[in-house]
A and B are shown apart, each in its own frame.
Chain A
Amino acid sequence: MNKSGHYPNILSFKHRELQMEEALKVFFAGIGGVFVGMTLLYIAILLIIKGSAWSKSRKESQ
């Protein structure tokens, strides 16, 4: 159903096909984007933990 409340007719089939390509693009980009984002955050957390531990041990050794 489109915004004007009508179901798309057969004339809009080509348009729908193009939209399908767009939908698939968004689908894969979305899932990929979320996992890439979380992987970056995961790496950042590991670096932060390592950095904090190193900083603490350095302070203690001084």
Chain B
Amino acid sequence: MDSILSLAETSGFLHITPGLVCMWCIGLILIFLAIKKGYEPLLLLPIGFGIIVANLPLAGLMTPEEGLIWRFYHYGIQWEIIPPLIFLGLGALTDFGPLLSYPSLIFLGAGAQVGVYITFFTAFWLLGFDLQEAATIGIIGGADGPTTIFLASKLSPHLLGSCAVAAYSYMALVPIIQPPVMKLMTSKNERMIRMKKKKKLVGSEKLLFPIAALFLIILLIPASAPLISMFMLGNLFRESKVVERLTKASKNELMNIITIFLGLSVGATMNADNFLKKEVIFIFAFGLLAFMISTASGILLAKLMNIFLKNKINPLLGAAGVSAVPMAARVVHKVASDEDKKNYLLMYAMGPNVAGVIGTVIAAGVFLTFLK
């Protein structure tokens, strides 16, 4: 009888709390959204699973120095390994051709970052988050998961899980969040503007760009080096066309393996104690606000550019300046083609979309420079 009682005491059943059950439900909801609705399944599925296993009583998977997932988290995220490796894969997947063919669109990638800073300031000023927390919330507006995780792990590790889930959820919801903002900010005539034909590239531009960008960005914002260096290395693999195996490994095998560890680790940081708080609701609300302001600020910058440009650009392209690649570019194309079926904006929108990735990394680098 004693042995049965002691077995019962060491089992997890007696340690189940309402908070843990609530976290299991959140994990199951994310898994449901990933499987049934297809919302960012590559990340939300392992994140949901990570939440569940990290909140199983006495399992100890996130026990410091001992737990299995704690080791993934510690060596992968705290040691800054996983986010830069994700950027290596992203670099290998990125084609800078559309940006190089229409260089002025690069500014739209900067315009969308204004939302990041407005949200940062608002979260600090209105809600009383400290500067590091406000920066982590603001960067959600960049719609870039790995950058959000990278910044959160350095500035506010206690917000990592909620900010990462907010960032990936809003990236999945781009087709729902962006169109109303885009329609509100533009007239029908503006949405129907057709772009002038792009410049043709002669050959070596795509090879030279990652090298030039590497020097310029890291010299300007040294704190962005881990992400930008890996991003440009991946892109150099791709454009050099002499290391096909490395390109494939970066964008396929390595990216897939890293994604498993990233999702699990991020999910496992969300325990009942640090997630079931009022401030998490603010994080989700302000993350959404950041994303909407980023969309609007990109469009406003495109309109401002039109005052000075001889060949007008379609202001919807400004919405692609957030870095949800390629979803934001697809949404821009869809909204434009709803007005004019022959208006093909997809390849033009890819320009500000990849510029947005660079812009978000620079924005994160500035936060790190001042706040770390």
Contacts and interface: CB of A to CB of B under 8 A. Distances in A.
A48 B100 CA distance: 9
Nearest to B101: A49
B107 A38 contact: yes
B56 to A, nearest CB: 25
A34 B130 contact: no
Interface string A15-49: 00001101111110111011111111110111011
A61 B358 CA distance: 37
Given A7-B128, A26-B120, A34-B363, A52 B202 contact: yes
Contact of A49 (B124, B205, B366, B371): B205
A26 B355 CA distance: 21
Contacts of A45: 99-100, 103, 106, 205, 209
B154 to A, nearest CB: 14
A33 to B, nearest CB: 5
A42 B220 contact: no
Contacts of A27: 117, 120-121
A26 B138 CA distance: 12
Contact of B113 (A24, A34, A52): A34
A53 B201 CA distance: 9
A14 interface: no
Q: Is the interface of A mostly helix, strand, loop or mixed?
A: helix
Contacts of B355: 38, 41
A52 B216 contact: no
A38 to B, nearest CB: 4
Given A38-B359, A44-B216, A56-B203, A19 B110 contact: no
Interface in B104-123: 104, 106-107, 109-110, 113-114, 116-117, 120-121
A46 B217 CA distance: 16
Contacts of A55: 204
A4 to B, nearest CB: 10
A17 B209 CA distance: 43
Interface residues of B, number: 53
Contact of A26 (B99, B217, B371): B371
Contacts of A29: 366, 369-370
Contacts of B99: 45
Nearest to A31: B117
B124 A23 contact: yes
A37 B114 contact: no
A42 B103 contact: yes
B221 interface: yes
Given A30-B366, A34-B359, A37-B221, A23 B100 contact: no
Interface in B130-157: 130-131, 133-135, 156
B129 A1 contact: yes
A8 B355 CA distance: 38
B13 interface: no
A41 B100 contact: no
B362 A34 contact: yes
Given A45-B209, A49-B199, A37 B358 contact: yes
B212 A33 contact: no
Given A37-B110, A37-B216, 4 more contacts: A1-B127, A26-B366, A33-B362, A44-B212
In order of increasing CB-CB distance, the 5 nearest A-B pairs are A38-B110, A45-B103, A44-B212, A30-B366, A33-B366
